[in-house]
Structure 1
């Protein structure tokens, strides 16, 4: 289930033009993480800043920010990318045949976020989508991030049965190979049903939303050896997750819109 919040398309829209850059051909073999790749520290202080960057609060060691932002100085930085869907209003940035369409030729759109799904059904299309996203990964690397967070891994669940878990996994292997080639770690975003395949898919750690609320933290903690960073959006999620997980994984509560500190509606709480 996708549990992202309703502003991520707006956050990333300013960067979509960079995706037009071409990168080298990608293979469908997930490269293993090398010694040059740094994994996030376990159970470290975490802040989720993909709605806008600000100075990390005291105790924070891990920060996730949108690719359009600079990484936080002296922290472990995760670079957020919308890798499986086009941004709202940005379909024109993609070749028409890479936008998923149903049997009637209509675009398949995420009903919650009004984002057209990307067509990952053939090896050629996966390679072409990965080439575009690969240019964003290059930007993450050049800015000094340590890892990437490709969102919407579970787009198949909103695809009217046109996409499968196999399509998603074959595609994310391309992203993993490219990220590892740039000495970046790569996160699995949500999608607990695929966590058991994380080694084959080349994924290094997990970024989860509401694993406490939905009692899914163990689904990630086992396969990823507790290298999990989780954001909760409710007091309920924290009360469910903190007792068992506060000393095992990274967990923070943020407001649903993850607005910057000093902005109306800002919430950040820890266990």
Structure 2
């Protein structure tokens, strides 16, 4: 599990059937890319698409939904291909705001860019002002996502300016870094989602292709995601403690792709 909300404070036929189930419908843009030149086009997920978010271990493909968001390091090209052959789009989870002691590229980060622990074992905030240092590392991570066949990236921890990182980060620093991250994804033909960072949605909605949000219902903030829906971009949303009967009516009204998950982000899900 990699949560940022309040961190520190805290086969064409089957796809068509799925699209009917999520009300909004599907177009060719919602299907996995076919081989050839069209495969380089950036995917644009539409509001209302159902999804599965599993960051705990190897992906379990049993959820009958058109979009999967899974850990980019822990899953390989065969896992992504298996989902594609089942008609799914696949998002690559990558942490871009913290160093992780358990990742294979951990030694690529100079000690000077490592900040305070962020509350998760083996993780420390990054000094996102050091773009010249961090950019090539993140490019290699996004290369990994592209080379494994992912359709998109979910970059985590893109609101460090609001936490105690050990660095004097500003909202301007975060905007510059987040736009760099979006650019790296687009250069590789990958869609990219804005993870949380609600205060900067007005400035960033044009740079990102969808949003990923945790607990906006619990904190009464879901309406702040409206700019993405109005732009025809999906908002993939989860709650951890609120019952579905409490947040699903508003989620449907706002056009969010919402579900209840357990905090470990395993296979279990209860969708709206």
Q: Whole-Å Cα distance in 2 between the matches of residues 257 and 154 of structure 1?
A: 21
Q: Whole-Å Cα distance in 1 between the matches of residues 141 and 187 of structure 2?
A: 14
**Pick aligned residue for 1:254 from 258, 261, 264:** 261
The match for 2:216 is 211
SS in 2 for 1:38: coil
Matched, 1:83 2:96: yes
Matched, 1:96 2:98: no
SS in 2 for 1:117: strand
Q: Whole-Å Cα distance in 1 between the matches of residues 196 and 172 of structure 2?
A: 16
| Structure possessing the higher relative contact order (Cα contacts under 8 Å, 6 or more residues apart) | 1
Matched, 1:171 2:204: no
1:172-211 superposed matches below 5 A = 172-199=178-205, 202-211=207-216
User: What TM-score, normalized to structure 2?
Assistant: 0.74
Matched, 1:116 2:140: no
Q: Whole-Å Cα distance in 2 between the matches of residues 254 and 230 of structure 1?
A: 10
Compared with structure 1, are the counterparts of its residues 151 and 4 closer, same or farther at alpha carbon in structure 2 (3 Å cutoff)? farther
CA contact (8 A) 1:140 1:148 kept: yes
Deviation at 1:240, TM superposition (A): 3.2
Compared with structure 1, are the counterparts of its residues 5 and 170 closer, same or farther at alpha carbon in structure 2 (3 Å cutoff)? closer
Compared with structure 1, are the counterparts of its residues 223 and 139 closer, same or farther at alpha carbon in structure 2 (3 Å cutoff)? same
Give per-residue Cα distances to partners, 1:10-35, cap 9 Å, x unaligned: xxxxxxxxxxxxxxxxxxxxxxxxx9
Q: Whole-Å Cα distance in 1 between the matches of residues 100 and 6 of structure 2?
A: 13
CA contact (8 A) 2:52 2:68 kept: yes
Q: CA RMSD in A?
A: 2.4
SS in 1 for 2:189: coil
Structure 2: gaps spanning 5 or more residues:
9-39
Compared with structure 1, are the counterparts of its residues 223 and 79 closer, same or farther at alpha carbon in structure 2 (3 Å cutoff)? same
The match for 2:141 is 136
Q: Whole-Å Cα distance in 1 between the matches of residues 52 and 7 of structure 2?
A: 16
How many residues in Structure 1 have an aligned counterpart in Structure 2? 224
Compared with structure 1, are the counterparts of its residues 99 and 66 closer, same or farther at alpha carbon in structure 2 (3 Å cutoff)? same
Compared with structure 1, are the counterparts of its residues 255 and 5 closer, same or farther at alpha carbon in structure 2 (3 Å cutoff)? farther
Deviation at 1:111, TM superposition (A): 3.3
User: What TM-score, normalized to structure 1?
Assistant: 0.75
